[in-house]
Structure 1
């Protein structure tokens, strides 16, 4: 496995063993970042023509490493981020990894045996003695209200040590571990990030007429993060999972923060939408009421004009009769009462018009109650 953390002396020796370009390529960092790291930590570098002289067998002078009061170790993360813009996403990611390495250097050194394990690990250790947690393929599979771990017996100790260090760092950084819907979750900035550690296996087809498979464990570990939403898997390879912990935790924290910010923005958008919806409903209500009031105004105006026409008609009728009699007098009184009843400015009471709508002139019939 390639080392990711070096002492100043180790980096000095590597720089004088091969050209900077080759060393940067081998370490998978930028050449410019390597140069700037040397400047920062007062590490002398070969001058131009140094490697050409060695190629042709000429003698070269290698300066001694000067004393310098700097940090004890130099990480590849530090080298790689020297030339990056710290405000960029990649820069922030590397800066967070560097911070994790700096703050939890001792915890990142995963021990070979458990030392004061977390309570979640203790429960898994106890359950590993029970074969009910063993699958037919030989995996010990914990889950539900226990850590989501699925490995074979020979690798239980490594799994427990890895997860114990992982949990210790998470908790030390202010995060919590909870069990939710059968999953193990790290609660980071209020967001739930699922965690699942399993041993990798090889699948071999055995069925002829219908598909059947044998699963053979191969000893490599896979750590799945946030398995439902944006699943990311980290697999033992050139680096084992123990060395990837800073990258894994940084990735989890960044993802959780992005999700938290998205939810905050989403809540703001939803709040704004509800306010706009309420304003729209209120405006529509006002418009509806305004329209109803206007219709009422028009109807009142029409009624007033009709009432005035009625009065003029009644007056003209009265003028047209030369001889007045009781029948005419009674009719004139009746007609003027009806005009007063209909006039929106008067709306006089009329027993015979009770239950009649002045707008439509329709009468509502009411049942007779004995």
Structure 2
């Protein structure tokens, strides 16, 4: 949408020279939206009597604009496109609802009689006929409407769901089934549906005592499940009159679910990446600890080798000093040096007996 930039003074002159009704025709805001902008930028607005006094040339007091303002003196207003009734300051649900309502081709009117029934309408009628005398009858292969009603109100429920289905298809969505639940697929997101009749507890009919549930004829339409579910109930406004709002909510609900799934997917990717890095660090640490322990072990082994060699040398020197280096003593010295070479991690001389 096209926008325009104003200063506080320019907007001040505008709201004191143009009525709110005309401003909402020029700009894509509600009355409250324009009032909020003026409040945000500390711009005084005329009261209800101002325009009447102005019209009849009566005296009025025009509140002055305070030139001192702590914020940025820059106001961006969205210009209303011709024929576009959507206001940018409204909720996403209201905007989407109006978008659907303003579409002349959207099937929004529930007829008094179904013409050209949707395939799901036909399948539901066939299911009711087959299950008439068998309450345990089921057909998991076909999708039918999730209607839970007293037989007297089924016809209205069927007309509502037939129009609802045609609107859903017109909006580019499809119907699907997960397990035994029927729902709408919006951009790959399954939104569960349920249409039921409200009931109230009344005194049981004789000869029974206590209370029983009695159908009220009021419709309740529910989408989603658990904390994300949303219900609409017949009241002053019937469900048939808020089809656009229901479909708008389904689309927004699916968008929110998709965002949550994408956020969960990204979180899982990040979690897996951090877990992988953590495991790699742990693996490297373990490898480093293992190498260090091996170093300590080899160092201790080498230290033992030095002690053995010192001992062998001391034995040999003692024998020489005592002139007692016999062939037997020399044989032992040779044997001991051989074993020192076997222990020495720098030599690792093989030994058939000890290695085995």
Above 0.5 in TM-score?
yes
Matches for 1:37-116 after TM superposition, within 5 Å: 37=24, 48-49=51-52, 71=83, 78=85, 82=87, 85=89, 90=91, 92-103=92-103, 105-116=105-116
1:185, 1:148 → 2: CA distance? 8
- Name the counterpart of 1:119: 119
Aligned residues between the structures: 286
Query: Does the 8 Å contact 1:143/1:183 carry over to 2?
Result: no
The runs of 5 or more residues in structure 1 that have no matched partner are 1-30, 54-68, 136-140, 356-370
Q: Does residue 242 of structure 2 align to residue 252 of structure 1?
A: no
The Cα shift of 1:354 comes to 2.1
- Name the counterpart of 1:308: 306
- Name the counterpart of 1:324: 325
TM-score norm. by structure 2 comes to 0.71
- Name the counterpart of 1:276: 274
2:338, 2:237 → 1: CA distance? 103
1:306, 1:213 → 2: CA distance? 94
Query: Does the 8 Å contact 1:97/1:246 carry over to 2?
Result: yes
Query: Does the 8 Å contact 1:127/1:133 carry over to 2?
Result: no
TM-score norm. by structure 1 comes to 0.69
Matches for 1:229-268 after TM superposition, within 5 Å: 229-268=227-266
1:263, 1:338 → 2: CA distance? 68
Q: Identify which of 219, 223, 226 aligns with 1:225.
A: 223
The Cα shift of 1:287 comes to 0.5
**How big is each residue's C-alpha offset from its partner over 1:42-61, in whole Å with a ceiling of 9 and x where there is no partner?**
xxxx99339x99xxxxxxxx
Task: Sort the Cα spacing of 1:167 and 1:327 in 2 relative to 1 into closer, same or farther, 3 A.
Answer: same
Q: Which moved more, 1:332-341 or 1:123-132?
A: 123-132
- Name the counterpart of 1:340: 341
- Name the counterpart of 1:153: 151
The Cα shift of 1:248 comes to 0.9
Query: Does the 8 Å contact 2:197/2:218 carry over to 1?
Result: yes
- Name the counterpart of 1:193: 191
The runs of 5 or more residues in structure 2 that have no matched partner are 1-18, 29-48, 57-80
**How big is each residue's C-alpha offset from its partner over 1:68-119, in whole Å with a ceiling of 9 and x where there is no partner?**
x965xx9xxx4xx53x526xxx2x2221112212336540012111121111
Query: Does the 8 Å contact 1:146/1:179 carry over to 2?
Result: no
**How big is each residue's C-alpha offset from its partner over 1:260-281, in whole Å with a ceiling of 9 and x where there is no partner?**
1111111111111111111111
What RMSD, in angstroms, separates the aligned Cα atoms of the two structures?
3.3
Query: Does the 8 Å contact 1:202/1:215 carry over to 2?
Result: yes
Query: Does the 8 Å contact 1:143/1:182 carry over to 2?
Result: no
Task: Sort the Cα spacing of 1:47 and 1:297 in 2 relative to 1 into closer, same or farther, 3 A.
Answer: closer
Task: Sort the Cα spacing of 1:176 and 1:291 in 2 relative to 1 into closer, same or farther, 3 A.
Answer: same
